[in-house]
Structure 1
Amino acid sequence: MKSESESESESTPEVEIQEETSIGEDTQRNYRIWKKNSPFLYDYLSTNSLLWPSLSIQFFPDHASNKSLGNNSSKDNEVYYQRLLLGTFTLGQSVDSISVLQLPQYKDLNKNLNINKLDYNQDKQEFELKMSSNNKLKVVQKINHFGDVNKTIYMPQNPNIIAASNNFGNISIYERTKHKSFKNSIIDDTELNKVQIHLSNPEISSCSENNGIFAIDWSKQIEGTIISGDMNGRINLYDIRNNYSCKDDNVFAHWSYQVLNQGDIGINDIKWFPNHNSIFGTVQEDGFIRIFDTRLQSLNSNTLSFKDSTIGVNSLNVNPGNNMVIATGNSRGQINIWDIRNFKNNNHNQNQINSSLIQINNQHTDSITQVKWHPKYHNILGSSSTDGSVRLFDISNSNINSNQGLIFLHAGHMLGVNDFDWSYHDDWLIASVADDNSLHIWKPTHLITNKYHN
């Protein structure tokens, strides 16, 4: 089952200018080569151009069909819908927003391919399958947001609750059902949507871009608990269900504690351990990984701290099948797999670097932006980088540092990839966003992935 579609959400001069100034001829030539070979590499591929780049992408957990939505359809043309959450990063050039996108997919694409309806596109020099507007990726909701959307994620227990962090050190909580659906309009919608809950650090007296938050995570065990880390090294935990107060028209959640204050060392990522209600980890610009337990009274003195590298660590992810195993990615393009049971606390020896279980070198050529374990196949690890690629590794391979450990390379983005996410309902479907304003939704060929189904 192979499909490739290209769609422009909006035609903008900004995209064209960026391509002319930032994307070199070699990169564009490599893209054309990749695109020509993509029918052999993917079971599904959809390339889309966004108006603005996004720093985060997340699949919603729901899954609906056109039959369940009340549409009459035969078994052959049954369509399934998934939703995606992303935000804009405009650097103040426009009003930022959070968007919910709907992704339609045929249950059996091959039975809906009509060769007689293929049209040749002279500009792209390729054949295209004309599809109805109902079967294209579309925006179903847009929420205008104050400041750049550094990261946006939904609450696991209730996906209608969405959190978004900005470049001024604030977190906004939106109840999605309290905002209108997206409607196309010639006039730009510049009015900010009302925030349901506004989380702010009481120690920050004024908004400053130095307080930007890129690290937020909802607790998987305790509904309404969210944790954040900013670029000044502050960590705050909020309980939006049980610990809040009202002031004017906004609701300011009381922060529970500030557990870290160590010389403005930025926190790049923060994650709760999925199967625990009190343990979380952080990765920082000084190369340290720290594990915290909220049950301890003195969190700083009891922190498990160890050094990943001499440079900044950008991403952290906990293995869903074994919470003792974590993956990290640093600014040198190196990926480390750790077993936290082997850690030696480095609080008193700041220069000691622990040895990881597995170290993946010489794969990415630039800084790692994200690492994520496969939600079902726990030996599969994905990584994205500013080198413009997303790579999938099988860490059970004994030759992980050779090319044998790399099972797939997605090289369709022309600039750095900011984030990617795995689908909950299609084992190998992945969405990725990059600085070239691109959103790719793709699935590696079954010739590679079939062996994991067994």
Structure 2
Amino acid sequence: DIESVDAEIARQYQLNEKVTNEEYKIWKKTVPLLYDTVQSHALQFLSLTCQWLPEVELDADKQSLRAQFVFGTNTSGYQQDYLQVGSIQLPETLDSQNAIPVPTTNDPTFNVVKKWKHNGEVNKAKVSPNGKLIATLSNSGSVYVFDRFSSGEGHRTELKYHTKEGYALNWINDSELLSGTDDGKISSWDVNRDVPVNAFASHSATVNDISANKVHQFLFASASDDQTYQVHDLRTPATPFITRNLGAAVNAVCFHPELGTMFATGSADMVVGLWDLRKPSAPFRQLRGHTGAVTNVEFSPTDSSYVMSNAADKRINIWNLEHLGSDFDEENYFSRNEKGAYYDPCLEFIHAGHTYKVNDMAYHPSLSHVSISVGDDNLLEVWK
């Protein structure tokens, strides 16, 4: 009956909460051993997005660094939403002797230094390569462009094309960007024009992610709920020149920052796929280790042999591709891993600091292996 079903649901929820709390306690105990630095900050409103700004400053005492990042608010329409710039203090050396424990109270090393009013929730924010502009994608489908150094309280430009909200956003260069939403459409923009340069309508479901190729800037890849990744040429927008069905929703895609033919995908089947554009029929390697749908992937900009991914399992995995040549029984991974004793040799580290779903993550562009992440637990974490 309904009452017994409700009771079972409540019991499972309480059990999951207990397991999550125990896992978090264990993680906190390991922080001094596993991290060079960790900071965890409770936000007033959860953020769906985060990304570092490029500059790093040395504080006057020369004992610490000051880094900045962008994040947003998600107030569910109850209050004014904002795009915000946060500033955080980090150890100057970022070595193990300066490990920072997870704080239990408000930490003065973190503060908001600037914010702009935002029309609706900030689903995604991306900083232009030169650090001067910030683009956002809202829950209305509008793309907003903010001038980081302006004195105004709002956006510089609103780019209207999409009819539904979305999360796929990526810069091509300092003045051009790509957006994709739940309407299944992709648009390319020049931020100095208020109409799309081109529109792409080759997906049949939500576009979850977009990645511009940093080597061949006329190429970009897209990931969709229609279970395909596609590779497009900006010069011929009518039809993608590669379409591959992975048999599960494709949630994330990211081109390698230096190798123009290599990219990674993250999909609902818990797999991070590594692909070569020249042989696109199948991944040349599948990275195994997540226990939930993979929702983000990103290559390190400072050490391109590393790729980071997060999933619905509340974990952020760090993969070292230098171990791709190591023996690994990829085909029989799940059967051999039933007792949790068989690991992908590329899996180098697991960040377990979030107690609910991780919404976004990013590598710092110049501080090697320093990462930021935000989750449904209202936490913003900076860690190495």
Instruction: Bin the TM-score by the shorter chain.
Output: 0.7 to 0.9
1:195 aligns with 2:155: yes
Query: Match of 1:290?
Result: 230
Query: Match of 1:318?
Result: 255
- 1:132-151 matches, within 5 Å, as 133=108, 136-151=109-124
The structure-2 alpha-carbon separation of the partners of 1:396 and 1:95, relative to structure 1 and needing over 3 Å to count, comes to same
Cα distance in structure 2, aligned partners of 1:288 and 1:112: 46
1:91 aligns with 2:64: no
Query: Match of 1:228?
Result: 179
Cα distance in structure 2, aligned partners of 1:367 and 1:375: 24
Which letter does structure 2 place at the counterpart of 1:97? Y
Cα distance in structure 2, aligned partners of 1:132 and 1:323: 41
RMSD: 2.7
Offset at 1:171? 0.6
The structure-2 alpha-carbon separation of the partners of 1:54 and 1:131, relative to structure 1 and needing over 3 Å to count, comes to closer
CA contact (8 A) 1:23 1:415 kept: no
Give the unaligned 5+ runs of structure 1: 1-19, 114-125, 181-192, 245-252, 344-353, 444-454
What CA deviation, in whole Å up to 9, does each residue of 1:127-148 have, x standing for no partner?
9899994xx0111111121111
Offset at 1:374? 1.4
- 1:239-278 matches, within 5 Å, as 239-241=190-192, 244=193, 253-260=194-201, 262-263=203-204, 265-278=205-218
Which letter does structure 1 place at the counterpart of 2:146? Y
1:30 aligns with 2:32: no
The structure-2 alpha-carbon separation of the partners of 1:342 and 1:100, relative to structure 1 and needing over 3 Å to count, comes to same
Cα distance in structure 2, aligned partners of 1:217 and 1:137: 27
SS in 1 for 2:146: strand
1:383 to 284, 305, 309: 309
Aligned residues: 356
The structure-2 alpha-carbon separation of the partners of 1:302 and 1:228, relative to structure 1 and needing over 3 Å to count, comes to closer
Cα distance in structure 1, aligned partners of 2:367 and 2:154: 34
SS in 2 for 1:43: coil
Offset at 1:178? 2.1
The structure-2 alpha-carbon separation of the partners of 1:110 and 1:169, relative to structure 1 and needing over 3 Å to count, comes to closer
Query: Match of 1:218?
Result: 171
Offset at 1:103? 1.4
Which letter does structure 2 place at the counterpart of 1:60? L
The structure-2 alpha-carbon separation of the partners of 1:302 and 1:425, relative to structure 1 and needing over 3 Å to count, comes to closer
Cα distance in structure 1, aligned partners of 2:104 and 2:96: 13
The structure-2 alpha-carbon separation of the partners of 1:310 and 1:62, relative to structure 1 and needing over 3 Å to count, comes to same
Query: Match of 1:123?
Result: none
Offset at 1:111? 12
Cα distance in structure 2, aligned partners of 1:178 and 1:239: 19
Offset at 1:21? 8.6
Offset at 1:303? 2.7
CA contact (8 A) 1:315 1:328 kept: yes
The structure-2 alpha-carbon separation of the partners of 1:387 and 1:127, relative to structure 1 and needing over 3 Å to count, comes to closer
1:339 aligns with 2:339: no
CA contact (8 A) 1:386 1:418 kept: no
Offset at 1:333? 1.3
Which letter does structure 2 place at the counterpart of 1:282? S
The structure-2 alpha-carbon separation of the partners of 1:22 and 1:49, relative to structure 1 and needing over 3 Å to count, comes to farther
Which letter does structure 1 place at the counterpart of 2:127? Y
Which letter does structure 1 place at the counterpart of 2:149? T
Offset at 1:105? 2.0
Query: Match of 2:382?
Result: 441
1:300 aligns with 2:253: no
Cα distance in structure 1, aligned partners of 2:118 and 2:128: 18
What CA deviation, in whole Å up to 9, does each residue of 1:56-106 have, x standing for no partner?
11111111122xxxx4x3xxx432211111112232232221111111123
Query: Match of 2:144?
Result: 172
SS in 2 for 1:40: helix
Which letter does structure 2 place at the counterpart of 1:418? N
Offset at 1:170? 0.3
When structure 1 is superposed on structure 2, of 39-48 and 417-426 the one drifting more is 417-426
SS in 2 for 1:321: coil
The structure-2 alpha-carbon separation of the partners of 1:197 and 1:130, relative to structure 1 and needing over 3 Å to count, comes to closer
Which letter does structure 2 place at the counterpart of 1:57? C
Which letter does structure 2 place at the counterpart of 1:93? Y
Cα distance in structure 1, aligned partners of 2:363 and 2:102: 29
Query: Match of 1:358?
Result: 285
SS in 2 for 1:213: coil
- 1:379-418 matches, within 5 Å, as 379-397=305-323, 398-399=326-327, 402-418=343-359
The structure-2 alpha-carbon separation of the partners of 1:107 and 1:301, relative to structure 1 and needing over 3 Å to count, comes to closer
The structure-2 alpha-carbon separation of the partners of 1:41 and 1:291, relative to structure 1 and needing over 3 Å to count, comes to same
Cα distance in structure 1, aligned partners of 2:127 and 2:177: 10
The structure-2 alpha-carbon separation of the partners of 1:35 and 1:257, relative to structure 1 and needing over 3 Å to count, comes to same
SS in 2 for 1:177: coil
Query: Match of 1:237?
Result: 188
Offset at 1:22? 11
What CA deviation, in whole Å up to 9, does each residue of 1:353-409 have, x standing for no partner?
x32100123x11111111111112222111111211111111232246534221111
Task: Give TM-score scaled by structure 1 length.
Answer: 0.73
The structure-2 alpha-carbon separation of the partners of 1:239 and 1:26, relative to structure 1 and needing over 3 Å to count, comes to same
Offset at 1:225? 0.7
When structure 1 is superposed on structure 2, of 389-398 and 103-112 the one drifting more is 103-112
Offset at 1:160? 2.8
CA contact (8 A) 2:215 2:259 kept: no
Query: Match of 1:372?
Result: 298
The structure-2 alpha-carbon separation of the partners of 1:314 and 1:274, relative to structure 1 and needing over 3 Å to count, comes to same
2:91 to 103, 106, 117: 106
Structure whose alpha-carbon radius of gyration is higher: 1
